[in-house]
Each structure stands twice: as C-alpha cells, then as structure tokens.
Homo-oligomer: A and B are copies of this chain.
Amino acid sequence: MKTIWRPGYDLTVDKIIKTALSRDPDREIVYRVTTGGDKIERYNFRIMFNRINALARALEALDVKPGDRVATLDWNTHWHYEAYFTIPMMGAVLHTINVRLSSYEIEYIMNHAEDKVVIVHRDFMKLIETVASEVKSLKAIIVVDSDYVPEKIGGIPTYHYEDLIRSYKGNYEWPRLNENDVAAMCYTSGTTGMPKGTYFTHRMIVLHALSVALFASASPLIRLGEDSTMLHVVPMFHVFSWGLPYVSALITAKQVYPNKLIPKVLLELITSERVTHTAGVPTVLYMLLTDPESLKYDLRGLVYINGGAALPKGLADLARKRGIKVVVGYGLTETSPVLTIASPPVKLLEKADTEDLVLRTGWTIPLVELQVVDPEGRPVPKDGKTMGEIIVRAPWITPEYYKDPEKTMNAWRDDWFHTGDIAVWFEDGSVLIQDRDKDVIKSGGEWISSVRLEDAISTHPGVSQVAVIAVKSRKWGERPAALIVPKPEWKGKISLEEIRRYLEEKFVSKGLMPRWWLPDLVIEVESLPLTSVGKIAKRVLREQYKNIEID
C-alpha cells in the first residue's frame, strides 16, 4: 500500500504545557517561597507560560543553544517547574542535579555533562561556590529564592532569576523540535563507582507522562483526576519527580510545590490546600506520620504512592490507621522511572484483603513489557517463589549510560533492559522484588534473597543490625553469611546455632522459609559500613570477606 508520509506531530514537551493551557490556563499552581518571609503564593499556567517565555529569552541571551546542558540545583519550587518546560522546549537539555551528592560528585557530573548554565536555589550557593571554578563548561549561574545575589560565584557571572524574568519579558520564538531530541538528563548514584549519566528524549517524557497519568486516572484505588490536587514531595532532582509535574499538567490537576521538604509545612499544605494525592519514599511518609504535631492534621483520603524503596508493612499499617491510602510504585532512574504500580486489577479489588497486594512491587503500567527471567533469559514460573531478574521494555528507557559503553552493554542485552533487581512474579501478573542482583546469594543454582534473610534475622531479640552476604562455598558456589551487630546485652552471645535455631523455629517450621536458606556462617561485628546515602555498603563487606571459603 503506497502512502505518503507527512511530518509527524512530534511528541515534544511543549505539548504537555499546551494541553494544560488549552484545557484551563487558570488552573492553580501553589508554591512556597522562603525568602522575604515564608510565604505561600499561587499562580497559574497562563502566568507561568509568560515567565517561561522570558526565561527562554534570558537563557538565549546567556548563549544557551540547542543541545546545551542547563543544570538545576533546587528544591521543589515553581522555579524548578519552569525549568522543566523552558529548557527542553528551547532544544536544550535539562540536567537536574541531586543536591544530596558530595561536592566532589557534583563537580564530576557537571564536568561529565558539560553544564553551561546552572540554576541554583539559595540553599546551594555555598555548594556551587566550591565547584563552580572547577567546571570548565560553566558560563553562568542563576539564583532563585534569594534576596541577595553576588555578581560572581567562583568567578562565574551570576544572575538573579527574577531580574532576568523582568528584563527579558516578551515572546520567545520557540524552535520546532524533533521528538527524538534529548530533553533531559540525570545521574544515578550507583553503589559502585561514580554516578552514571542517563538521558531522555522528548518522546520518552511525553509517553511516560501519558502512561502514568492514564494508569493513575483509570485505577479505582488511585483515581487521579482533573479535580485532584497533587503535592509534589518527590524531590525534583530525582528523575523529574517521577514525572509527576508533567503528569499533573497533562491532567490539569491543581499542584502544590512545597520548596524544601519540612514535615510540618507538608502537613499544613495537605490540609490547607486539600491535597488528594502525593508520592514519595517511605522516609517522608514516616516523617509525616511521626511528626510531633502529626495527629493535629486530618490525613483521611490522601493517596500516597510509595516509591524509591519497599514500603514496610508496619509503616503502611500506620498510614492506613490515619486513613491514608497507600500504593507502591516501582522504577529506576534509567526507566524515567515508572514501570509498575501496585494497584491491583478489578478482579482482586473485589476480594477483601488488598492490604498486602498494594505493597507488591506492582503491575505494569500501559506500554511496559516486563519479564522475570533466569540467568539464561528464560521466564521463571509465575509461582511467587522462583526468583529471577526483572527485565523490561518500554518507550521511556534511557538508550545508554552517557559516555559509558561498557555499562551500557551490560544493561542492554537482546533488546531488553536488565534492571539488576531480583524478583518473583505471580499468576495474578504482579511482581515482588526480593533483592538486588549483586546481593542475591547463588547457592547450588538456586537463589537466596539476602533481603528476606536480613528481615527474618532482624526479628531476633538480640540483633541490632544485620547484613547477609554471599561467601564462597566449595560445594554450593555461594552460601549466606550473616554479619550481626548485637544489642549490648547480647554481646558475645549471638552464635550460628542460636540464629539457626531461631530461624528454624520462627520461619522454617512454619513454611515461611526453606531450610537450605539457613546461613552457614554468623559473624558478630562492631558496626556495618554505610554508603553515602545511608544504605549498608555490601560491596565493602563482600570485599572484606572475599577470602573466606566454606564447604
């Protein structure tokens, strides 16, 4: 069949804000400013679009050209949101920097990304001062949420964001972009080596937002809609706040940008702005529920989408007691991020007990293909028991680790992206993560989840902290070893026999754990090494115990 091809209507980021502008330019965006007194202010897409035009004109005057990287070091502010649109819409690349990284790492990634301009929140002016002079590509610094802006920082010309908006008022001539142009990038801090760069095209961002928005709207549990109010709690430097600022614009929901996250302020905003939906890591949920004034606030009906780490059942129960609906989501920086959300399909919702189902890693959102496979790439049985690696396809996975062909080849094999997450999957279509690939213990061709062993051992009354790692075994290849920090009164009393006896009684005899999972080695230690983000540094432990070999 002969057909003509007409230049497609590209899926570019401007289409997202245009959707909001045509649906309701007056839709409210609430934001918090911390300079000149702590204030809640509000504007809308119409006003924002004027500011976006001015910002684009200002960046153009600062010599930002298509393909150039413009970085941000900012909290969850409306300034950050403006950058989310302006920079990609100019054809430049938005580079959101994780403000929690060390100045050494930030210097590394800014040089790696070759950032030309950086937009900096007042809180990070000190930080940028220590790195600016070391970033060869850097030409300008723009400061937000600040009363005072020096002329230069580290020798780099510095501007006040609001001055630029005033000076460059007017319409910008937006270029026509290709959907496969790069729109944004961010770095993922692995547990090994320096952060790895990932990047995303306009098409990826638009399709990710469409799919997340559709799943969240159609889900009877989540019911995100045009009449919802979204509080942006996921840091905007974490994979574009999980895409939720884009999702909110596509749906034209009301939005709240709380600036730096302060539990009391979040609680206040949830009540005063009648927030219906938010998303975040378990820690933030914990902070909201345990804040000394938490009980003063009515949190009933709030939907909390948990991501970034598994949601502990105890915390979920605590939230549910307050009337919060919790649902788990899952994804990686490399995957834009969302892959799955644990909103069960209708047939399971009709059952009474969905409390555990919403804590699963979840079901795929539209357009995501996911498999759990063994080391040969064959899907493992959907029995909720057999572990395998999660591999995925979706229209929004980074094409590579930027300037790192080796790590790229390792993750992208046979047209599937390998997540490195070890999971089981169920007949009902959901998956549940068990461990990271590097941490799982490969014993006699079978896998043992270090995370589940740690969970079990941590319930022993004498255990303060525990890490389970693989040690070499002549017979099995690898076997589990538990490194335990005992509680003071148990010092010297934590033995292999005691731990095995305890696990046998509480888990194995009840069918909660196979007997062959029982550790072959228990070592009492004074403390466990931590990574920069506060997780146990298992790589360090493996290195430390690499010479141990058992039968």
Residues of A at the B interface (CB closer than 8 Å) are 1, 3-9, 11, 15, 18-19, 22-27, 67-69, 93, 180, 182, 199, 203, 207, 210-211, 213-214, 217-220, 223-227, 250-254, 345-347, 349, 363-364, 366-370, 393-395, 397, 399-400, 402, 412, 415, 429
Contact = CB atoms under 8 A, between A and B. Distances in A.
A513 B220 CA distance: 47
Given A3-B400, A210-B211, 4 more contacts: A4-B399, A6-B399, A24-B347, A210-B366
A490 B374 CA distance: 85
20 contacts: A1-B69, A3-B182, A3-B399, A8-B395, A11-B207, A15-B367, A19-B364, A19-B366, A22-B368, A22-B370, A22-B429, A23-B364, A26-B347, A210-B366, A218-B225, A218-B252, A218-B253, A223-B225, A252-B345, A254-B346
Nearest to A15: B367
A1 B412 CA distance: 21
Contact of A345 (B6, B15, B23): B23
Instruction: Report whether over half of chain A's contact residues are helix, strand or loop; otherwise say mixed.
Output: loop
Nearest to A20: B366
Nearest to A253: B218
Contacts of A402: 3
Contacts of A5: 180, 399
A26 B345 CA distance: 10
The winner among A346, A369, A399 for most chain B CB atoms within 10 A is A346
Contact of A199 (B3, B345, B366): B3
Contact of A250 (B253, B366, B400): B366
A214 B15 contact: no
Nearest to A93: B1
Contacts of A182: 1, 3
Contacts of A218: 213, 217, 224-226, 251-253
A299 B24 CA distance: 32
A517 to B, nearest CB: 30
Contacts of A93: 1
A7 B397 CA distance: 11
Nearest to A113: B1
A117 B15 CA distance: 40
A28 to B, nearest CB: 9
Contacts of A9: 367, 393-395, 397
Nearest to A22: B364
Contact of A225 (B11, B25, B219, B397): B219
Contacts of A7: 415
A5 B182 CA distance: 10
Nearest to A397: B9
Given A22-B369, A69-B1, A367-B19, A345 B180 contact: no
Nearest to A345: B24
Nearest to A210: B210
Contact of A6 (B15, B220, B412): B412
A275 to B, nearest CB: 15
Contacts of A223: 225
A207 B214 CA distance: 12
Contacts of A400: 3-4, 6
A218 B68 CA distance: 36
A68 B1 CA distance: 7
